[in-house]
A and B are shown apart, each in its own frame.
Chain A
Amino acid sequence: MAKWAGARVLVLLCTLFLLPACAQSMPADPEGTLERVTGGTLRVGASDNGDWVSVDPTREPEGSEAELLREFAGRLGASIEWTTGSEQVLAEELKHGELDVVIGGLDDKTPWEKHAGLTLPYTESKDERGETHKHVMLVRKGENAFLLELDRFLAEAEQSP
């Protein structure tokens, strides 16, 4: 028991001093995505999917999610670098940090959850079978400051369409 007493006090002290000191900058990105994107480049992967994302090789991607990200990038003072492809290819690139965010009309049941972090569901839709889908975007795993920023933006955007 005595062996642990020192360790306990240490942990307690660390918490007490650490928490307030870091509260301002919490959460942070292990890979610094938000910092890099702000005033820089937002690398977006877009996968063609109905009204959400429509990809035309001759133009920049369009659709509601593409528009949302344009607004988000504008707010961060960032320009967008588009990459188009299948969900699989984009999810793989996101996993390896070659993209910052992936859109494609995905919902919260997406199988790419293993490779990526999900935003909060920002809107819902019903398909022809009457099932409800909660729509999300994918971000790189663990980039929590960037994710929170996007979550906040999407929540606001939904409230004032």
Chain B
Amino acid sequence: MKRSQQEQIRNAVKFGHTELPDEQQGALRKAIKIEWITIAFLTASTLLVYLVLGNSQAMKAAWVEDMLSLLPPISFLIAARAIRKQPSEEHPYGFHRAVGVAHVVAAVALTVMGAYLIVDSAIVLVTVEHPTIGGFDFFGQTIWLGWVMIGAMVLTALPPVYLGRVKLKLAEQLHDKVLYADADMNKADWMTALAAAVGVAGIGIGWWWADAVAALGISASILHDGVRNTKASVSALMDRRARTYDDTAPHPVAKRLDEYLKGLDWATDARSRIRDEGHVFHVESFIVPVEGRMPSLDQLERARLACVELDWKIQDMVLVPVSALPPELLPGVPAPGGERA
């Protein structure tokens, strides 16, 4: 009994000083495993596609996308290591931002490559470059290389879709936006593969432009992913208010927190501002005590602990008793006169 307890403590995964609940620990372990699988798969598929690349622009775009898809899993794994470090004197907020930094790096790479490939494919189209795809020596038989290309694309189309679906669920449990971006890209991967296959088939029936058009489509989707992720990751690093893992709505924990604090018998009003540090939130809550009476240390401490209990993401939290909510720190709060600031 004692031994297993000790083991549990040793194996407990922490994000900085935030100890993860069982569900999140399991999710993290699974996410790390599946990201390694993703890297293995992508390496194999990048190699396979490279071997049959030929002169197809669409295949080239699909190949580059495969290589770029390696970035999010790699940054996730690096970040997953960095954030375990305890906060230090030099880094009092911990290392959670590693996730955000990884997200920006991956997003910028996507954007640049997407833009480059669009120009590259457009040049092929404008200069009326007919893609040449000839024979392929298949164990002594000369077959059309195009068939091999289509085969490679079909073969690599489906596994990422499965990986993406699994990661999507884990991203929600872990509140991990890099994982979400990664999952989102994987999920759409089959469209890239299919577009490349259609482009090559187009060459096959004599439509030389089909390949370049497919390449343009793939490049546009890479660029789209890149721009969307750059926007999301940069605004997260700019301390945008905490949103859900997929950035669709403000994170519900903010409302729950304020409602709990307002409900305290010694408080009349409360409001928090929350930063998303990566997985965990940093919270500053302002509380207006009843009739301006200063709460006891004990009351403050108990309120803080209760807030931390609300959600595993809340650990790093400060409570500030104020005579009135400061509108300059809490945009959107009515100014003391009752007017909106």
Contact = CB atoms under 8 A, between A and B. Distances in A.
Interface of A: 8, 11-12, 14-15, 18-19, 22, 25-30, 116-120, 139, 141-144, 147-148, 150-152, 155, 159
B135 interface: yes
Given A15-B198, A120-B135, A27 B146 contact: yes
A117 B207 CA distance: 16
Contact of B146 (A116, A120, A144): A144
Interface stretch (B65-73, B102-110, B126-134, B164-172): B126-134
Contacts of B136: 120
A147 B194 CA distance: 25
Most buried by A among B135, B137, B147, B195: B135
B194 A11 contact: yes
Contacts of A27: 133, 144, 146, 203-206
A12 B58 CA distance: 17
Given A15-B201, A117-B132, A120-B142, 15 more contacts: A15-B198, A18-B205, A26-B146, A26-B147, A27-B133, A27-B206, A30-B206, A30-B208, A120-B136, A142-B132, A143-B132, A144-B146, A147-B134, A151-B135, A155-B135
Contacts, number: 89
A148 B142 contact: yes
A25 B130 CA distance: 18
A15 B208 contact: no
A59 to B, nearest CB: 31
Nearest to B209: A30
A15 B131 CA distance: 20
B129 A141 contact: yes
25 contacts: A8-B191, A11-B198, A12-B194, A15-B201, A18-B201, A22-B204, A25-B205, A26-B147, A26-B201, A27-B144, A27-B146, A27-B203, A28-B205, A117-B134, A118-B134, A120-B137, A120-B142, A141-B129, A142-B132, A144-B134, A147-B133, A147-B135, A148-B135, A152-B135, A155-B137
A155 B204 contact: no
Interface in B198-251: 198, 201, 203-208
Contacts of B99: none
Contacts of A117: 55, 132, 134
Nearest to B133: A144
Nearest to A159: B140
Contact of B132 (A8, A12, A147): A147
A20 B134 CA distance: 20
A126 B47 CA distance: 30
B204 A144 contact: yes
A151 B142 contact: yes
Contact of B131 (A120, A142, A155): A142
B194 A28 contact: no
A138 B146 CA distance: 19
B203 A144 contact: yes
A28 B132 contact: no
Most buried by B among A25, A29, A143, A148: A148
A63 to B, nearest CB: 23
Interface in B107-160: 129-137, 140, 142, 144, 146-147
A19 B210 CA distance: 14
A120 B205 contact: no
Most buried by A among B131, B134, B142, B194: B134
Contacts of A18: 201, 205
A141 B132 contact: yes
B197 interface: yes
Nearest to B211: A142
Contacts of B133: 27, 144, 147
Contacts of A29: 206
B160 to A, nearest CB: 16
B130 A141 contact: yes
B212 to A, nearest CB: 11
B189 to A, nearest CB: 13
A28 B135 CA distance: 13
Contact of B144 (A19, A141, A148, A159): A148
Contacts of B146: 26-27, 144
Contacts of B135: 119-120, 147-148, 151-152, 155
Nearest to B201: A19
A144 to B, nearest CB: 5
Contacts of B134: 117-120, 139, 144, 147-148, 150-151
